[in-house]
C-alpha cells in the first residue's frame, strides 16, 4: 500500500519477516462490507444502534481470532494459553481497533455515522467520554499500518508480560525526533487497559435493560 514505509535497515531478516507477516494478517483485518454499509443505511433507534454494534463486535472478534492465528508462533502456544490470551485481550483489541478506525481516514461519513450510533446506543455518557478521549489520544500518535498491526499483536500476545524490546527499534526509526515515542505508545496501552473496566460497566448496564449478546460475545466475555 502507498503508505507502507520501508522496513527499518537494522532489523534482522527474521524480524522483518515477522513484521511483514503481522502486517499482512492485520490488513486482512476488515469488517465485511455489508456490515459497514448497514452503518450508513439502517434506522437510528437506540435498539437498532445496539444491534448494529453487537453485529460489528461479533465480526470483530471473529476477525481478531483470524488475525491472532496468523501471528507467527501463536498456534504453537499451549492451547489453553491461546484461549486465555484471546479472552484477556479481546476487549482491549476491540477498543484499539475502534480507535484506529476513528483515527484513520475511512470513507467520509463512516466515522461520523459510527460515532453518532455509538453515542446513541444506550452507553452512558460517563463511559462515552473516556472512550472518545482514548480515540483522540490514539489518533494523536499518527501510527502507520505497521505500528497499528504491531500494537494490536503486542496487546494480544502480552496482556501482562513485559513488552518485547525490539518493537521500539521500529518506532524509533519512524519517529526519529521523538526518542520517547515508544514510551508514549506503551502509555496508550495503559490507557487502553482502563477501558476494560468501563467495558464491564457498559455490558452490565445493557444487561440490566435485558439486551441480548451473541453467543460468541458471551463466550469471550463470560457474559450470562
Ligand atoms: C467496542 C464497540 C463494538 C465494536 C466496534 C466499536 C466501534 C468501532 C468498531 C469498528 C470496527 C471496524 O471498523 O473494524 C469493528 C467493530 C468496532 C471495534 C464499538 C464501540 C462500543 C462497542 C461496544 O463496546 C459493544 C460491546 C458489546 C456489544 O454487544 C455492542 C457494542
pLDDT at position 105: 63
The closest-lying atom of ligand 1 relative to the alpha carbon of residue 56 is 16
C-alpha cell at position 213: 449478546
Q: What is the share, in percent, of the chain residues with pLDDT greater than 70?
A: 83
Cα(165) to ligand 1 centroid in Å equals 30
Q: Which long-range contacts (CB under 8 A, 24 or more apart) does 193-202 make?
A: 193/92, 194/130, 195/91, 195/92, 195/95, 195/130, 195/131, 195/134, 196/91, 196/92, 198/127, 198/130, 198/131, 199/91, 199/95, 201/127, 202/123, 202/124, 202/127
Instruction: Give the confidence band of 4 by pLDDT, cuts at 50, 70, 90.
Output: low
Cα(16) to ligand 1 centroid in Å equals 31
pTM: 0.81
C-alpha cell at position 19: 513484521
Cα(70) to ligand 1 centroid in Å equals 22
Cα(58) to ligand 1 centroid in Å equals 8
The pLDDT tens digits of the residues spanning 163-220 come to: 333 444 444 445 656 667 767 777 888 888 889 899 999 999 998 888 899 999 999 8
Quick one: angle between helices 145-157 and 79-103, nearest 10? Answer: 150
The closest-lying atom of ligand 1 relative to the alpha carbon of residue 199 is 24
The closest-lying atom of ligand 1 relative to the alpha carbon of residue 91 is 1
Amino acid at each position: 500500500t502507498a503508505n507502507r514505509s520501508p522496513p527499518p535497515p537494522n532489523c534482522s531478516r527474521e524480524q522483518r519477516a515477522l513484521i511483514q507477516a503481522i502486517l499482512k494478517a492485520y490488513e486482512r483485518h476488515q469488517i465485511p462490507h455489508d456490515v459497514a454499509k448497514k452503518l450508513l443505511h439502517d434506522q437510528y433507534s437506540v435498539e437498532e444502534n445496539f444491534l448494529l454494534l453487537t453485529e460489528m463486535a461479533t465480526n470483530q472478534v471473529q476477525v481478531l481470532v483470524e488475525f491472532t492465528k496468523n501471528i507467527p508462533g501463536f498456534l504453537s502456544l499451549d492451547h489453553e494459553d491461546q484461549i486465555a490470551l484471546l479472552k484477556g485481550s479481546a476487549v482491549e483489541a476491540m477498543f484499539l481497533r475502534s480507535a484506529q478506525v476513528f483515527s484513520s481516514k475511512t470513507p467520509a461519513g463512516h466515522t461520523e455515522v459510527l460515532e453518532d450510533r455509538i453515542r446513541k446506543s444506550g452507553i452512558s455518557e460517563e463511559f462515552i467520554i473516556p472512550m472518545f478521549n482514548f480515540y483522540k489520544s490514539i489518533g494523536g500518535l499518527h501510527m502507520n499500518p505497521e505500528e497499528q498491526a504491531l500494537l494490536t499483536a503486542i496487546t494480544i500476545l502480552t496482556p501482562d508480560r513485559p513488552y518485547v524490546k525490539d518493537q521500539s527499534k521500529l518506532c524509533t526509526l519512524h519517529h526519529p525526533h521523538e526518542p520517547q515515542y515508544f514510551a508514549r505508545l506503551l502509555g496508550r496501552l495503559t490507557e487502553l487497559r482502563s477501558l476494560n473496566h468501563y467495558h464491564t460497566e457498559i455490558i452490565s448496564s445493557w444487561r440490566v435493560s435485558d439486551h441480548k449478546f451473541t453467543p460468541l460475545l458471551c463466550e469471550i466475555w463470560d457474559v450470562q
